[in-house]
Amino acid sequence: MPVKGLTRYFRLFRHIQNPGEYLFHKGKIRSRSLQFITKPNAISFLVPESVYQVFKEIFMADVYEIDDLVKTLPIKPLVIDIGANVGFFDFLLLSKLDQALIYSYEPLISNVEKLEKTILANPAIQKNIFINQLAVTGSAQDFLELYSEDTEDNQVVASIFSDFNANNSKSIKVPCITLSDIIRDTGFKTIDLLKMDCEGSEYDIIYNTKQELIQLIRKMVVEVHDVDAEKNNVTYFTNYLKQLGFAVTHQPINNFCHALEAEKIG
């Protein structure tokens, strides 16, 4: 469950070598990017204002409960990250499991460029992250229409749903790949972790991927968004995964979004 209050600062100190950058310089975020270093394994990365809230969500609110999560993973897990944004989750995971192999998927070029820049600045992780500038779908198609903010800077809430966010006034088409093709292309018979933060696309991806491929996934951490009262909501999504043999828990992040964890039984 996302933590609040003073506990967020304990998480900051647990995950970041230089928490003073946040404590003493967060007021400068409008004039310069903050620069942090993870621990125990050191990865240096920048946080511009446009993704400041994403940084706090992952490193302070700790929505993925990273220390508990890594205890459930092997030393060298195979990870698929759908909706990598600028890579904060990947950096946090690699700071705890430096042998993780991560296939990252992010459709927006501004985010991919930031992610690539961080990887180039940290040679030790260049062999760990494979970046793919693609959207991920369940149903096969060449391009996916996304609705995003009308800016060239980092995008946080680009979605397939036009009304997902009031600021998403721009329509863009991005190349895509199915989760089925990703699983087949990796050549691995087991996916240790599937992480998804894709602003509503989690439904198409899971519902329209063959069940036998979903069952190759040992663990999922998903930000699930309540979009409608039919199939695109956390209750239906949870029950669907349970039918596929997963134990599922979820906690609210806000009144629209939930942090969901699913683990294959047996």
Helix (H) or strand (E) holding 152: none
Is domain 64-264 classified as CATH 3.40.50.2000?
Answer: no
Rounded to 5°, the CA angle 159-101-93 comes to: 70
Cα–Cα distance for residue pair 153/107, rounded to 1 Å: 13
Q: Of 16, 20, 62, 58, whose CA–CA distance to 39 is shortest? A: 16
Whole-model pTM: value is 0.92
In the chain, which residue ranges form alpha helices assigned H by DSSP?
Answer: 7-15, 20-25, 52-55, 66-71, 88-96, 109-121, 179-186, 202-207, 211-214, 234-243
90, 104 contact by CB (below 8 A): yes
Per-residue pLDDT in tens (0 to 9) along the chain, 266 residues = 688 899 999 999 999 999 999 999 999 999 999 999 999 999 999 999 989 999 999 999 999 999 999 999 999 999 999 999 999 999 999 999 999 999 999 998 889 999 999 999 999 999 999 999 999 999 999 888 877 665 665 555 666 655 555 555 577 888 999 999 999 887 888 999 999 998 878 999 999 999 999 999 999 999 999 988 999 999 999 999 999 999 999 998 888 889 999 999 97
Q: Where are the domains of the chain?
A: 64-264
Residue 186, pLDDT score? 79
